[in-house]
């Protein structure tokens, strides 16, 4: 997923590129350096990064990947919980 996001960023020069699944954006998110000032000024109390992404919605690119793009891992407990899930297929892959 990371490589797909980086490839789309290099191809499109979009200020924000995210992985996604079924039209929903997720993780990872790549921000162009032109957004550093906005990112440094985020306030977690009022939407945080979502506010920056929302401001640039029309310029954002979403790369279709696996369902894992919708999973958010912030803690060790999140990681442990996800470690027990079966791997998600990537688009275009054949079931084994």
Classify residue 21 as exposed, middle or buried by CB count within 10 Å of its CB (0-12, 13-18, 19+).
Answer: buried
Summarize pLDDT for 35-50 with one digit per residue, the tens: 999 998 887 776 788 8
Q: Which domains does the chain have, with CATH numbers?
A: 2-83 (3.90.550.10)
Q: Which two tokens mark 44?
A: 């977690």
Of 83 and 57, the one with more pLDDT: 57
Is pTM, for the whole model, over 0.85? no
Of 61 and 89, the one with more pLDDT: 61
């Amino acid at each position: 997923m990371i490589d797909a996001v980086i490839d789309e960023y290099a191809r499109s020069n979009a200020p924000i590129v995210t992985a996604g699944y079924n039209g929903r954006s997720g993780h990872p998110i790549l921000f162009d350096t032109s957004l550093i000032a906005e990112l440094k000024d985020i306030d977690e109390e009022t939407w945080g990064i979502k506010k920056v992404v929302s401001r640039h919605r029309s310029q954002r690119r979403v790369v279709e990947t696996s369902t894992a793009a919708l999973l958010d891992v912030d803690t060790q407990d999140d990681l442990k919980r996800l470690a027990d899930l079966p791997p998600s297929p990537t688009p275009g892959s054949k079931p084994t």
